Structure formats: C-alpha cells, structure tokens
Structure 1
Amino acid sequence: MNNAPILQYLKKHGQRLDSEIAAATGIPLAKVRTSISALSQRGEISSCSVTRFHGDKAVEGTLCRVAGFIPPSAPGRKPGAQTAG
C-alpha cells in the first residue's frame, strides 16, 4: 500500500484520528489502520489508542501525528511580544 497520501495528510493537518484520515483521503479505514501500523513501525509517525465519548457512545480509534514534526509558527506578532519605542 502506498502510504504517501496518509503521510502528506498528517503533515498538512497535524494530529488526526484514523477515521478522520480515512474520510478525508477516501481510503478505507482498514487500509488506513494497516498503513498507520506500518508507518509507526518505521518510526515515521507516532500513534496511540484513544477512546472518545460522543454522548453515551464510546468511539475507539488511533490518534496519529508525524514523528518529530513541529509545524511552523503562525505569522504575525506573538503574544507578549515587546515593541520598540
């Protein structure tokens, strides 16, 4: 399986659930989970199991992000920035 679309999606959108990745990329959830496992074993992504609750319903999934990737800071002034003058 080509893992590039999943890796590119995570680089662009940051930390996401496996179900969100599947919905956004159009790849079946089972294949996304297989790719996540392979990418995690190679050390390209970090993943962990999570349980989220929507009302009384528990939804289990895998949360993923690119390993060691720190997104660039947003442009503009930063909070607490000092101005000259």
Structure 2
Amino acid sequence: MEIYEVLTIALIMVLAAGTTVAIYLGLANWVGACYVVRCSECHHLTFASVNQPQSSCAHCRHPMILHPLYTTQHPGMVRVVGDHLRY
C-alpha cells in the first residue's frame, strides 16, 4: 500500500512542476521575453526570443533525439507535411 502513496506523491510533484513551468513560460510570453512560434520548415512549435517563425528548430536539427524509431526506419530529413495549420 505504501508504494501507491509514494507513486501518488511523485505524480503530484511532477504535475505541479510541469504546471509551474507552463505558468512561467506563459508569463514570459506575456511580457515578451519568450514566444511560442512555429518553425518555418517543419511547422512544429518552438520557443524563440522574437515573435517570428524560426528558420529551424530542434526537430529539424536533431530528428534522431525527438523521433528515434521513425528516423531509423526513414533515413533523411524528418518533415511534417500537409498539416493544414492556420496561423
């Protein structure tokens, strides 16, 4: 029974930390210190210091880190196409 209590407390701590980070990122976006923008190549969301689309993101530069199984089966650049985003 103790393991469930420990796991519950750990889950609460992880959710609280994630929420705190999201609040601080939202406040940084609000004051203009950090913006959530789209990558102009792959259209993934990324962080930037200016409110303009970035030329590349971590997904474009390091696809093996973010999508290891897909990258091993599809050599070359991993791109998101046909996403129909309205921004």
Same fold at TM > 0.5: no
Structure with the larger RCO, 1 or 2 (CA within 8 Å, 6+ apart):
1
If each structure's helix is expressed as a fraction of its own residues, which one has the higher value?
2
Q: Give the TM-score normalised by the residue count of structure 1.
A: 0.28
Q: Give the TM-score normalised by the residue count of structure 2.
A: 0.27
If each structure's strand is expressed as a fraction of its own residues, which one has the higher value?
1
For the pair shown, the structure with the greater C-alpha radius of gyration is 2
